[in-house]
Amino acid sequence: MTRKYFGTDGVRGKVGEDPITPEFALKLGWAAGKALARNGQSWVVMGKDTRLSGYLLESALEAGLSAAGVSVRLLGPMPTPAIAYLTRAFHADAGIVISASHNPYYDNGIKFFGADGKKLQDDVEASIEEWLDKPLAIEVPDALGKAMRQDDARGRYIEFCKSSFPFHLSLRGLKIVLDCANGAAYQVGPSVFTELGADVIRLACAPDGLNINRDCGSTHPEALQKAVVEQGADLGIAFDGDSDRVLMVDRHGELVDGDELIVIIARERMATGNGIGGVVGTLMSNLGMEVAVREMGLEFVRAKVGDRHVMAEMEGRGWTLGGEASGHIVCLDKTTTGDAIIAALQVLTAMVRTGTSLHELRKGMQKYPQHLVNVRVGKRSDPMVHPRVLEAVKAAEARLADRGRVLLRASGTEPLIRVMVEGAEKSVVEGLAKELALVVTEALA
């Protein structure tokens, strides 16, 4: 559908600029309430990350929901996947998350989960957009919604996460450096791993409303890499601001990305007889991931970039594992959305069960050199409709043969063409990427 307000992951922007204003949040709360309203009492759960602006948006959304006659349980700072779980656990009509994920503190966003703990269906988003264009009409006083704090929300989610780790195993003896990005998992993250027996060293677990994702977390893992080596830890774990992405660091301080983590989880599922059907990656997933998955005897398919596309492909095929190199990993046999804590626990399960370090487990996937060049163009267009570009791509693919691939795609948010070349030899990959970038520049100038 064509969206006027919703992007690929809810509504997001800079605080104080349309649409991230208290006025719009109030109207959005009311519109969502009207779209979700049913006979009898309707209610939602709502959580947020640690941004200072979360207070403002939470109050505005609460007021809008109440005006529509919808009650709300306020969960406070909680990971995005926790809201997905608690929406189902409380049998709520929807879940609302106030977060801009891995973005800086001055951004914020609002996204929704349906009653099933999954992203809203397109028809529901369309209904909300229709109500947004209507005049706000407040319900009669005796039909207004109520608000209450759900004080035990944190403990409920902690227990849910722990239930995804085998009861007969323990993390005792493991020293883990945990970087929570000064974000939504700063309380629940350390509790989960500590209660399962690990010695947890906390990093970026002191949010002040402004330091979320600042030089920390999965987008800035350098401090974690350094801390793992200095502390002599077995591994490091990095979340992003809303804890739906996870990256890891092995004992040598080397980063282990989402592609590698998915391969580890897939191999563990196969070893323990838990069928996953196949694995869904994206157009940007490393070729080494595809090779490793196919060597396990599993199918591998690529979806468009974005968790919505990955989820759609997984559900359409009935598969339970997929994700992106960024660390957004979905284990549908455990939960309904990307969950950093649960994904990390699946990797730790493989480590503990086999007695193998993360450094050794990652060797199950050989990463291919990958080079990306962003070409700025005057306007967005499909580069593959230009004969000269098409000819250059075919020549590059012929040179790589079956040991590499070429991908050209237009950015969805900027006037950029992303030129990516992947192959066995780094020098060849870099050379081809630069050559193709020059052709694209000249063709689309």
CA distance 304 to 8: 12
CA 164 to chain CA mean position, Å: 18
CA distance 77 to 51: 9
Q: Is 101 a catalytic residue?
A: yes
**Residue 112, CA atoms < 13 Å, CB-side half-sphere:** 26
What is the CB neighbour count within 10 angstroms for residue 73? 20
For residue 418, what are the β-bridge partners?
A: 374, 409
Most distant CA atoms of the chain, gap in Å: 72
Six token digits for residue 253: 């301080």
CA 89 to chain CA mean position, Å: 21
DSSP secondary structure string, 211-254? -TTTT-STT-THHHHHHHHHHT-SEEEEE-TTSS-EEEEETTS-
Q: Given the residues 42, 66, 71, 101, select the one marked as catalytic.
A: 101
Six token digits for residue 129: 């957009």
Six token digits for residue 257: 């990305």
Provide the annotated active-site residues: 101
